[in-house]
Amino acid sequence: MSKDQSKIEVNTPPPSVSRKQANYALTILFIVFVFNFIDRQILAILLEPIKKDLQVSDTAMGFLTGITFAVFYTFCGLPIARWADKGNRGTIISIGLFIWSLMTALSGMVTNFIQLAAARVGVGVGEAAGSPASHSLISDFFPPERRATALSIFNMGASLGLFLGIFLGGWIGQAYGWRIAFLLVGAPGIILALIVKFTLPEPPRGLSEVQDGDDTIYTVKDVFKFLWSLKSFRHLTIAASLFSFATYGLINWTPAFLMRVHEMSMKDAATWYGPMLGISSGAGMLIGGLLCDKLGRKDIRWQLWVCAIAGFGAVPFIMLFLFIPTPLAALICYVPALIFGAFYVGPVYALAQSLSKLRMRAVASAILMFFINLIGLGLGPQVVGIMNDVLASSFGTDSIRYSLSIVGVTNILAGIHFLKASKHLKKDLEAKNR
């Protein structure tokens, strides 16, 4: 070996990151995801004062919480995911965070419904940059044997964000008004965007694992065509979308239900519902993931059977919550429904990864998120708002009770499609490997 060769080898060691750097990156991405859900969910607790102030219908408010956000969030997600595969992911996340935080703050300065809808579009566009790039970074920082835990920790940020969005929004909104609530929760994200830009490391692609040499490039069309040819993936996507439809419809309109039917103040609804939602959804994600991992070692179909059981099991508790006349008893009955409602998150994304080829995985997740968010986050709250207005002439204030019960029943349909997916899972996994 020549001196020049020896010098090159000494001066260009293999790239690596320390455990400290990886943990710092995970912490920052976790905090970003918390802010993601705070800014997304705060609108739910502020629906009633916004509706009264801007003098709009429940249909309009459903449009604001659902379609307005979800359409731009889902459609922007695919091109941003492809950008994240090529560009600097920390920069992409910081730009998205800056945009959605700024738009959240500007939501407190609007003077009419159109302006507020435009601000929510901006929030949706910005938040589309968060998850794809974060998932990619975490996969490079953490090797396969530690990656599931890292991703689980990251996703727990959603539960904390749900809690803080409801809790802070309710308390600030009650004390200072809904406009100040938007301003105060949006402004800190702008500062966090600068921290992300200048301190988040950008590791080399594939740093945490040895690449297998498969350099095949798949287009979004290629991935969609392949996955849609698998019956298990088709039913899995339908099931997850229906589950999400019920979940988002319920959690976005629950504060309004508590205020209208049980005559809670916004602060009281936030105090009870915020912590309950955050803790229950976090517990559901964790329990669902642990059960599916443990039972799935015996038979991988358990990952779908557990989701089906959760879908069927949630419905009676939803009905008890909606029709028990005592607020405290109703909320206690709602806890199991919220836990069951979060079971599907981990298993669904894990199975999407298992059913896709190695170089399809990022786009496979984006495709699954596209359907889940468009149908669940987009249509769930919208349908509840429409039904509230349609049923108001017959049931008055109680119309929201019946709207939510109709939406909640779709969990049964989700459970049926999870069972259908299980019938084809083993065969499709074998087909994927061929």
Q: Cβ contacts of residue 42 below 8 Å, gap of 6+?
A: 104, 165, 166, 168, 169, 181, 182, 185
Give residue 296's pLDDT. Answer: 80
Q: At what angle do helices 19-45 and 231-261 cross, to 10 degrees?
A: 50
Cα–Cα distance between 209 and 143 in angstroms, integer?
6
Whether the predicted pLDDT of 213 surpasses 50: no
Do 20-207 and 218-434 show the same overall fold?
yes
Banded model confidence at residue 15, pLDDT cuts 50, 70, 90: low
CA atoms of 63 and 23, how far apart (whole Å): 39
* pLDDT score at 313: 96
pLDDT value, residue 329? 95
Among the listed residues 69, 59, 60, 118, the one whose alpha carbon sits nearest the alpha carbon of residue 378: 69
Predicted pLDDT at 17: 63
**Segment 327-380, tens digit of pLDDT:** 999 999 999 999 999 888 878 877 887 787 766 766 777 888 889 988 988 899
pLDDT tens per residue across span 106-154: 999 999 999 999 999 999 999 988 887 887 788 778 775 566 567 777 8
Question: What percent of the chain shows pLDDT beyond 70?
Answer: 90
pLDDT band for position 434 (cuts 50, 70, 90) = low
Which position has the token pair 């103040």?
265
Q: What is the mean pLDDT of the chain?
A: 86
Query: Where in the chain are the domains?
Result: 20-207, 218-434
Read off the tokens for 201: 């490391």
Average pLDDT of 321-327? 94
Which sign, positive or negative, has the C-alpha torsion 345, 34, 401, 395? negative
pLDDT band at 433 (very low <50, low <70, confident <90, very high): low
Give the pLDDT confidence score for residue 18 in this predicted structure.
Answer: 73
Q: Is the pLDDT of residue 9 over 70?
A: no
CATH of region 218-434, choose from 2.40.50.140, 1.10.8.60, 3.40.640.10, 1.20.1250.20 = 1.20.1250.20
- Given a contact cutoff of 8 angstroms between Cβ atoms, the answer to whether 26 and 141 are in contact is yes
The three state secondary structure string of the chain is: CCHHHHHHHHHCCCCCCCHHHHHHHHHHHHHHHHHHHHHHHHHHHCHHHHHHHHCCCHHHHHHHHCHHHHHHHHHHHHHHHHHHCCCCHHHHHHHHHHHHHHHHHHHCCCCCHHHHHHHHHHHHHHHCCHHHHHHHHHHHHCCHHHHHHHHHHHHHHHHHHHHHHHHHHHHHHHHHCHHHHHHHHHHHHHHHHHHHHHHCCCCCCCCCCCCCCCCCCCCHHHHHHHHHCCHHHHHHHHHHHHHHHHHHHHHHHHHHHHHHHCCCCHHHHHHHHHHHHHHHHHHHHHHHHHHHHHHHCCCCCHHHHHHHHHHHHHHHHHHHHHHCCCHHHHHHHHHHHHHHHCCCHHHHHHHHHHHCCHHHHHHHHHHHHHHHHHHHHHHHHHHHHHHHHHHHHHHHHHHHHHHHHHHHCHHHHHHHHHHHHHHHHHHHHHHHHC
**pLDDT, tens digit, for every residue of 157-206?**
888 998 999 999 999 999 999 999 999 999 999 999 999 999 998 887 66
Top pLDDT among 421 and 44 is at: 421
Q: Which CATH superfamily is domain 20-207 in?
A: MFS general substrate transporter like domains (1.20.1250.20)
Tell whether the model's pLDDT for residue 1 goes beyond 70. Answer: no
CA distance 328 to 177: 26
How far apart CA 252 and CA 230 sit, in angstroms, is: 33
What is the model's pLDDT at position 144? 59
Query: What pLDDT digit, counting tens, does each position of 25-54 carry?
Result: 999 999 999 999 999 889 888 988 999 999
Cα–Cα distance measured from residue 417 to residue 422, given in angstroms and rounded to the nearest whole number: 9
Asked if residue 208 has pLDDT above 70, the reply is no
| Residue pLDDT, tens place only, 220-253 | 788 889 889 999 999 999 999 999 999 999 998 9
Which of 232 and 430 is assigned the larger pLDDT?
232
